[in-house]
A and B are shown apart, each in its own frame.
Chain A
């Protein structure tokens, strides 16, 4: 019977632990728009490019977009040092965007 208890408890714990990664992210139907992706520089975090958009960090995982529920420390520190990720301006006022880096 002891073994049964252990099995039940371990099962419950494993299931709950498996839930934990989901707490940090939100699936979103719509990520940043194409014109934003085309003009904004991402920050690479845990091997994925992340975009700061609308006061939230977005990243792709497969075909869909996700957002971090809470800002990861690394990305928060990035924003503290850089304010916001760089954008490129391609209009007349910026010479067609031909300035680099």
Chain B
């Protein structure tokens, strides 16, 4: 009698375990859930538009932008705003060159003749000033680390990686002349109401003659820098000065690709389309942060 009773208990326990295991497997079972939105998501589309046009501060720009959506404790907002303002101030010289670059491209597009030499010179200057941003922002980054909680620091690191991922895709991995939905050419076609013939010609031209590589930008090096920053910032102690830094030439690469795109597109546009595009670039030139007095 004892044995059957024990067997019964064991069976019940076994069933319980099996059912628990099954439930856990179902509940914990990996699902290929990739919840829908994306292509039609306005905020995502506007981030790409921003990343096509703004290359003022490399990784520091990603950090400053990450603070927009960190969702940190309200009580910390004044301090975080101050740090963000300091980071923008460090990117100020690059921002002014970037503005001149947008205006030079806009003026050239408006009259149908971009001054390529002037554009190239501005891009070289942009690369030079972008190199100074890291050193300038060391104190602000150290302050930021001290202000944030471990969870907030960790999330900032993830956001910086997310910004880098988007930037890398739109400015490096996306195929020149590609017609994918939400891509650079598709968005231009939408903005300027390009005809299919114009899209065909621009796509062919961009594929035949992609932007020349700068020779300085190395996506592997940039990736390593972003990962090194993210790991260091998420840790309990942090010294921005010791994170391998400097210039990974994001500004150079992004600005060159942007300029080349417009140099290729411009000759194919009608006068009316050039006017519209020039206006859009002038609007981008006005996108400058308000920097607080120190």
Binding site for B on A (CB under 8 A): 1, 4-5, 8-9, 11-12, 15-16, 18-19, 22-30, 32-44, 47-49, 53-56, 60, 67, 69, 85-98, 100-101
Contacts and interface: CB of A to CB of B under 8 A. Distances in A.
Given A16-B20, A33-B38, A39-B43, A88 B68 contact: yes
* Interface of chain A, main secondary structure: mixed
Given A42-B155, A49-B71, A96-B287, A19 B9 contact: no
B32 A8 contact: no
A12 B20 CA distance: 10
17 contacts: A16-B16, A24-B27, A26-B31, A27-B28, A29-B30, A29-B32, A33-B38, A35-B47, A38-B47, A38-B163, A39-B43, A42-B69, A86-B69, A91-B45, A91-B50, A92-B49, A97-B65
Contacts of A92: 49, 280, 283-284, 287
B280 A5 contact: no
Contacts of B10: 8
Interface in B19-34: 20-21, 23-24, 27-34
Interface string B39-66: 0011111111110001000000000011
A12 B16 contact: yes
Nearest to B164: A34
A29 B33 contact: yes
Interface of B: 2, 6, 9-10, 12-13, 16-17, 20-21, 23-24, 27-38, 41-50, 54, 65-66, 68-71, 77, 81, 84, 151-152, 155, 158-159, 161-163, 165-166, 169, 280, 283-284, 286-290
